[in-house]
Amino acid sequence: MGSLIHIQKFLQLTIINLLVIRKPYMNPYMAGVILGVVLLAAMFLSGRGLGASGGLKYCVVSIVGAVDADHVAQSPYYSKYFEDSGKPLKNWLVFEILGMVVGGFISGALSGRLGFKVEKPAHVSNRRRLLFAFLGGILFVYGAQLARGCTSGAALSGMAVLSVAGFVTMIAIFGSAYLFAWFFRKNWI
């Protein structure tokens, strides 16, 4: 009986330790090594890099296809995504971003970082933070469609295969962000 109570206590403490106590982030160079190994695995297994904006695009294409099939059939942009299987969601990138949500959740759970929250400096209102998050999302993914990939698919994965496109996109993203940083500084500092 006594040892059972001990085991129960031990499990309780372990769960509390895992899920509730907030742990520091991983050393950035170590996290970079893990990310690099994951990217290498994508290259070695599937012959491709990582991506994020592409998966969002396939979701949107699929939604538009479900809502307005005529529009999709007439548009040269949408129709190409329905040519192969007719199911844009049956795509490597869509499954990868589903995995990302699971992987991020596991990491957050093990590090005590789960919780609903709008993250912002104290002097910024929720409304302002969410408005800028929305506008930033529109611009980022619009730009990612134009550049054929975002920070993951164009910049990081593109650099890993030494492509000019990867280096140019990386410099354009970060160069532009530094230029615009001055205008939006009050949102952050």
Partner 1 sequence: MGPILIHSDASTWINLLTGFLIGIGFGFALEQAGFSSSRKLAGMFYGYDTTVLKVFFTAAIVAMIGSQLLKFFGLIDMDLVFVNHYYPYAAITGGVIMGAGFVMGGFCPGTGISAFSIGKMDALVFLIGGFVGAFLFAETFPLIQKLYMAGYKGPVKLSESLGVSDGVFIFLVIIVALVMFWLAEKAEVKFKRPDITSEL
Interface positions, 37-66, toward partner 1 (CB under 8 A) = 37-50, 52-53, 56-57, 59-61, 63-64
Q: Provide the mask over 116-155, with x wherever binding to partner 1 is found by CB under 8 A and - wherever it is not.
A: xxxxxx-------xx-xxxxxxxxxxxxxxxxxxxxxxxx
Q: Which residue number, 28 or 86, has a Cβ lying nearer to partner 1?
A: 28
Residues in 10-29 at the binding interface with partner 1, rule: CB under 8 A: 25-26, 28-29
Q: Which residue number, 10 or 174, has a Cβ lying nearer to partner 1?
A: 174
In our burial notation (b when 16+ CB lie closer than 10 A, e otherwise), range 56-66 reads: bbbbebbebbe
Applying CB under 8 A, does 79 fall inside the site for partner 1? Answer: no
Applying CB under 8 A, does 90 fall inside the site for partner 1? Answer: yes
Output the CA–CA distances (angstroms, integers) from residue 82 to 37, 86, 94, in the order listed.
33, 4, 15
Q: Provide the mask over 160-189, with x wherever binding to partner 1 is found by CB under 8 A and - wherever it is not.
A: xxxxxxxxxxxxxxxxxxxxxx--xx-xxx
Give min distance, CB of 2 to partner 1, in A: 38
Applying CB under 8 A, does 73 fall inside the site for partner 1? Answer: no
With 0-12 / 13-18 / 19 or more C-beta atoms within 10 angstroms meaning exposed / middle / buried, residue 47 is exposed
Helix axis angle, 53-67 relative to 92-110, nearest 10°?
A: 120
Give min distance, CB of 40 to partner 1, in A: 4
- Residue 96 identity (one-letter amino acid): E
Q: Mark the segment that binds partner 1 (CB under 8 A) among 4-12, 13-21, 88-96.
A: 88-96
Q: Which residue number, 70 or 119, has a Cβ lying nearer to partner 1?
A: 119
Output the CA–CA distances (angstroms, integers) from residue 61 to 48, 55, 101, in the order listed.
22, 10, 20
Count the alpha carbons within 13 Å of 26 in the hemisphere toward its beta carbon. Answer: 12
Choose among 136, 132, 109, 107: nearest CA to 120.
Answer: 132
